[in-house]
Structure 1
């Protein structure tokens, strides 16, 4: 059995990957990379190997990756330092002799600086380049937007306000559930034939925010309307409401990408990797708003 190491396990995606791996492989063959071992005591109790390391510490990565066959590389969330961190991971994996790297990238069409999400794109695009040039066997998972983010995007008070307020126009998104993405990742790690493959990890259908408003309205019996302001009006409204600038920029960037059609593309790759139909948005939203 391959020795597998998963990064990012204190986050939702990495922890879910490990959960699915524990149903497919012996715990003794699974390792996780963490900065603070105290945060994964539950995994230690299940027999998972805990390795302390940091994307910022190259030597710790080389040591962590020694003897590892397959690495599930979760992209870092420190946008400002992502480039040097990811370069460390790829170089360390190469030096340590990792046989196969599975990298969590992102769905996109526009790879230029004109993209509304260029601020998050650069690290992913460079990492893909580094992996392809490294000589390592790799699999790139181009993740679409999480269905799980919809309650945040539509607003925690959407049932009280009755309004979804995002500058996304009529753009549509092939949202996919994070648990399905994690299960697909675990399937890639525990099966063969994925070397040098790029998979588009999306849901089976695209949805606009108007579609989301209609679904929530039907589930709750409360009329939800969708309003798409200009980015300038959106930014001013949220600024006046006291929302921090970094969140406004994040929401505006992803809504701009949705409006531009960056995520308006469906692939069967997720369903193929799962061997079943992924969870749809309607079912997810019923679980959130149908209580």
Structure 2
């Protein structure tokens, strides 16, 4: 039987598209789910194996990895301590003889040793397993998930970024790159910084969304403390609000502006534009 590829984070806005892309290439896909009964309908259109899996429950590891040779790895946002929460799983991957890990990391992680993504990269390198690190910038899809209500209900972009630019990337492009790395030779040891083809500021984002949706979307640009206080009031958990605030402060300092051509080189096409993303997801904000 053909070896399987295990996809973690499969219900998220990258993992789902990885499952879709791998299925289109007739790969044998195993989808790791915390609750199979709850999420199985999401993947009903694909011929995939579904298995219960939880990073915090080592008893789920063996069944998830039986017959698997490659792993698409995403860190669940709530797992903030990689040594405690994820090292056991990486050790198991080494024990099982996994041939490759494609891990979704973070843009700029090579210069930031304190973030969880960097610690996971270091653990993977230390494990001796072949790897490919994908280091994406800010997801376009954050605007139709995390910031959906701001746009849909309040007609605003509410983030403290000033005039800084962001090289937004569509998560469908991240998934497409991951699929190439999992199924085609030449990417072992790769460390790819994945961005869109251009950087735009949030005034430009507001203009594009206004044109696409046919109503005015305003970029509010609150102060940092006002931003944190407001999003907590709107229901964001304090721990996540702190992370969001930190990321936007870094963006304000210009850390999200960098663009690369890694996506184009790997996919042999231009990255999806922000205009195309807005058009494709416009129903999310209605």
TM (norm. structure 1) is 0.84
Return the offset for 1:238. Answer: 4.7
Separation (CA, whole Å) in 1 of partners of 2:110 and 2:185: 31
Secondary structure of the 1:33 match is strand
Secondary structure of the 1:187 match is helix
Deviation per CA, 1:69-111: give whole Å up to 9, x if none: 2111122222345442221221111010001111111112684
After superposition, the Cα gap between the structure-2 partners of 1:195 and 1:286, relative to the gap in structure 1 and judged at 3 Å, is same
After superposition, the Cα gap between the structure-2 partners of 1:236 and 1:95, relative to the gap in structure 1 and judged at 3 Å, is closer
The equivalent of 1:199 in structure 2 is 192
User: Which of 174, 191, 201 does residue 181 from structure 1 map onto?
Assistant: 174
Separation (CA, whole Å) in 1 of partners of 2:80 and 2:67: 30
The equivalent of 2:34 in structure 1 is 35
Return the offset for 1:20. Answer: 0.9
Separation (CA, whole Å) in 2 of partners of 1:159 and 1:64: 38
Return the offset for 1:52. Answer: 2.5
After superposition, the Cα gap between the structure-2 partners of 1:260 and 1:21, relative to the gap in structure 1 and judged at 3 Å, is same
Matches within 5 A, 1:45-194: 46-108=46-108, 111-112=111-112, 122-151=115-144, 156-158=149-151, 163-194=156-187
Secondary structure of the 1:69 match is strand
Deviation per CA, 1:161-205: give whole Å up to 9, x if none: 554332111221111111221122112111111111111111111
CA contact (8 A) 1:63 1:96 kept: no
CA contact (8 A) 1:67 1:96 kept: no
Name whichever of 104-113 and 13-22 sits farther off: 104-113
CA contact (8 A) 1:34 1:52 kept: yes
Deviation per CA, 1:199-226: give whole Å up to 9, x if none: 1111111111122122234445645443
Separation (CA, whole Å) in 2 of partners of 1:7 and 1:189: 14
After superposition, the Cα gap between the structure-2 partners of 1:170 and 1:48, relative to the gap in structure 1 and judged at 3 Å, is same
5+ long unaligned stretches in structure 2: none
TM (norm. structure 2) is 0.85
Return the offset for 1:255. Answer: 1.6
Matches within 5 A, 1:232-251: 232-238=225-231, 245-246=238-239, 248-251=241-244
The equivalent of 2:264 in structure 1 is 271
CA contact (8 A) 2:13 2:141 kept: no
CA contact (8 A) 2:150 2:158 kept: no
2:14 aligned with 1:13:
yes
After superposition, the Cα gap between the structure-2 partners of 1:212 and 1:154, relative to the gap in structure 1 and judged at 3 Å, is farther
Secondary structure of the 1:132 match is helix
After superposition, the Cα gap between the structure-2 partners of 1:242 and 1:262, relative to the gap in structure 1 and judged at 3 Å, is same
Count residues with an aligned counterpart.
282
Secondary structure of the 1:232 match is helix
Separation (CA, whole Å) in 1 of partners of 2:227 and 2:45: 47
RMSD value, Cα: 2.9
5+ long unaligned stretches in structure 1: 114-120
